[in-house]
A and B are shown apart, each in its own frame.
Chain A
Amino acid sequence: MNKSKKWLVGSVAFALAFTLQAPFAHSATPTVTVVMPTQWKDAFAPEIAAFNKSNTTVNIEVNWGGAQDQLIAANKSPDIINTGDLFVAAQKNLLLDLTPYMAKDKTINSKDFYPALLNAVKFQGRQLALPYRFNVGLLYYNKTLFDSAGLAYPTAKWTQKNLITAGQKLTKSSGTTATQWGIGSTFGWWGEWLIHVRQSGGDWLQDGVVALDSPEAIKGLTFFRDKVSKYDMSPGPKADSLGGFSGGKTGMEYGGHTGNWPGYNAVSSLKWDISVLPRGSKSSKGAELALEAWGVSAKTANKQAAYEAVKFLTSVAFLTTQWTELRLPPTRISVANAALSVPVAKRPSPQNLEALFGGIATGMTLPRTIPFIKVTQEVVQPIIDKMLEGTLTPQEAGDQATAAANKALSILQP
Chain B
Amino acid sequence: MSVKNRKDTRNFFAFAGISVIGFLAFYIYPIVRTIYLSFTNTSIMDPIHTMVGWKNFERAIKYDDVFHLALKNTFKYAICVAALKLLLALLAAILLNNNLKGIGAFRTIFFLPFIIPTFAVSYVFRFFFHPANGLVNQSLDKIGVSGIGWYADSKTAMATLVISSLWGFGVPMLIFLAALQQVPKELYEVANLDGASRWLQFRVITFPAISAVFLFNVILSSVDSLKSFDLAFLMGHGEGYPANSTLLYSVYLFNQAFKNPWSLGYASALALIFFAILLILTGINFRLGKLYVKNEN
CB contact under 8 A between A374 and B44, given known A188-B237, A238-B132: no
Q: Is B46 a contact partner of A411 (Cβ separation < 8 A)?
A: no
**In the complex, what's the smallest C-beta–C-beta distance from A250 to chain B, in angstroms?**
15
- Which of B46, B133, B152 meets A91, CB within 8 Å? B46
A93 to B264: give the CA distance in the assembly, Å: 16
**In the complex, what's the smallest C-beta–C-beta distance from B163 to chain A, in angstroms?**
17
Q: Is B243 a contact partner of A382 (Cβ separation < 8 A)?
A: yes
| B119 contacts across to A, CB distance below 8 A | none
- Please give me the residue from chain B that is nearest to A91 by CB atom: B45
| B154 contacts across to A, CB distance below 8 A | 382, 385-386, 389, 391
Interface size on B, residues (CB 8 A): 35
**In the complex, what's the smallest C-beta–C-beta distance from A79 to chain B, in angstroms?**
14
- Please give me the residue from chain B that is nearest to A371 by CB atom: B261
A374 to B64: give the CA distance in the assembly, Å: 12
What mask results when residues 62 to 77 of chain B are scored 1 for a CB within 8 Å of chain A, else 0? 0111100000000000
| A47 contacts across to B, CB distance below 8 A | none
- Whether B193 is near chain A, meaning CB under 8 Å from some CB there, is no
| A389 contacts across to B, CB distance below 8 A | 149, 153-155, 242-243
Q: Is B152 a contact partner of A299 (Cβ separation < 8 A)?
A: no
- Please give me the residue from chain B that is nearest to A87 by CB atom: B260
CB contact under 8 A between A188 and B241, given known A90-B260, A238-B153: yes
Q: Is B65 a contact partner of A69 (Cβ separation < 8 A)?
A: no
A386 to B242: give the CA distance in the assembly, Å: 8
| A237 contacts across to B, CB distance below 8 A | 149, 152-153, 242
A408 to B245: give the CA distance in the assembly, Å: 19
- Please give me the residue from chain A that is nearest to B263 by CB atom: A374
| A72 contacts across to B, CB distance below 8 A | 44-45
- Which of A381, A383, A386 meets B239, CB within 8 Å? A381
- Whether B48 is near chain A, meaning CB under 8 Å from some CB there, is yes
Q: Is B132 a contact partner of A239 (Cβ separation < 8 A)?
A: yes
| B47 contacts across to A, CB distance below 8 A | 93-94, 298-299
CB contact under 8 A between A238 and B46, given known A69-B258, A188-B237: no
| A188 contacts across to B, CB distance below 8 A | 237, 239, 241-242
| B241 contacts across to A, CB distance below 8 A | 187-188, 385
Q: Is A73 a contact partner of B44 (Cβ separation < 8 A)?
A: yes
Q: Is B133 a contact partner of A69 (Cβ separation < 8 A)?
A: no
| A187 contacts across to B, CB distance below 8 A | 241-242
- Whether B289 is near chain A, meaning CB under 8 Å from some CB there, is no
- Whether A105 is near chain B, meaning CB under 8 Å from some CB there, is no
| B228 contacts across to A, CB distance below 8 A | none
- Whether B97 is near chain A, meaning CB under 8 Å from some CB there, is no
- Whether B201 is near chain A, meaning CB under 8 Å from some CB there, is no
| B132 contacts across to A, CB distance below 8 A | 177, 238-240
A130 to B91: give the CA distance in the assembly, Å: 63
- Please give me the residue from chain B that is nearest to A239 by CB atom: B132
B227-254 CB contacts (< 8 Å) to partner A: 237, 239-245
What mask results when residues 110 to 143 of chain B are scored 1 for a CB within 8 Å of chain A, else 0? 0000000000000000000011110000000000
- Whether A370 is near chain B, meaning CB under 8 Å from some CB there, is yes
What mask results when residues 371 to 383 of chain A are scored 1 for a CB within 8 Å of chain B, else 0? 1011001110111
- Please give me the residue from chain A that is nearest to B261 by CB atom: A90
- Whether B165 is near chain A, meaning CB under 8 Å from some CB there, is no
A342 to B118: give the CA distance in the assembly, Å: 49
- Whether B164 is near chain A, meaning CB under 8 Å from some CB there, is no
Q: Is B48 a contact partner of A93 (Cβ separation < 8 A)?
A: yes
**In the complex, what's the smallest C-beta–C-beta distance from B132 to chain A, in angstroms?**
4
What mask results when residues 295 to 307 of chain A are scored 1 for a CB within 8 Å of chain B, else 0? 0001100000000
**In the complex, what's the smallest C-beta–C-beta distance from B166 to chain A, in angstroms?**
23
A376-403 CB contacts (< 8 Å) to partner B: 377-379, 381-383, 385-386, 389, 391
A370 to B239: give the CA distance in the assembly, Å: 18
**In the complex, what's the smallest C-beta–C-beta distance from B160 to chain A, in angstroms?**
12
| B258 contacts across to A, CB distance below 8 A | 69, 73
Q: Is B45 a contact partner of A238 (Cβ separation < 8 A)?
A: no
**In the complex, what's the smallest C-beta–C-beta distance from A378 to chain B, in angstroms?**
5
What mask results when residues 214 to 246 of chain A are scored 1 for a CB within 8 Å of chain B, else 0? 000000000000000000000001111000000
**In the complex, what's the smallest C-beta–C-beta distance from A263 to chain B, in angstroms?**
18
Q: Is B133 a contact partner of A240 (Cβ separation < 8 A)?
A: yes
A87 to B260: give the CA distance in the assembly, Å: 7
- Whether B207 is near chain A, meaning CB under 8 Å from some CB there, is no
Interface centre among A373, A378, A391 (most CB of B within 10 A): A378
Q: Is B66 a contact partner of A238 (Cβ separation < 8 A)?
A: no
| A257 contacts across to B, CB distance below 8 A | none
A298 to B47: give the CA distance in the assembly, Å: 9
**In the complex, what's the smallest C-beta–C-beta distance from B172 to chain A, in angstroms?**
33
Q: Is A94 a contact partner of B45 (Cβ separation < 8 A)?
A: yes
What mask results when residues 71 to 98 of chain A are scored 1 for a CB within 8 Å of chain B, else 0? 0110000000000001101111110000
- Whether A404 is near chain B, meaning CB under 8 Å from some CB there, is yes
| A391 contacts across to B, CB distance below 8 A | 154
17 additional contacts (CB under 8 A) given A94-B47, A237-B153, A385-B241? A73-B258, A92-B46, A93-B47, A94-B45, A188-B237, A238-B152, A239-B131, A240-B132, A371-B261, A373-B261, A374-B259, A374-B260, A378-B244, A381-B239, A382-B154, A382-B245, A389-B154
* A interface residues with partner B (beta carbon < 8 Å): 69, 72-73, 86-87, 89-94, 177, 187-188, 237-240, 298-299, 370-371, 373-374, 377-379, 381-383, 385-386, 389, 391, 404, 407-408, 411
Q: Which 7 A-B pairs have the closest CB atoms?
A: A238-B131, A240-B132, A385-B243, A382-B243, A382-B244, A90-B261, A188-B241
* B interface residues with partner A (beta carbon < 8 Å): 43-48, 59, 63-66, 130-133, 149, 152-155, 237, 239-245, 255, 258-262, 264
A and B contact pairs by CB, cutoff 8 A, 10 listed: A91-B45, A188-B241, A188-B242, A374-B260, A378-B239, A383-B243, A385-B242, A389-B153, A389-B155, A411-B59
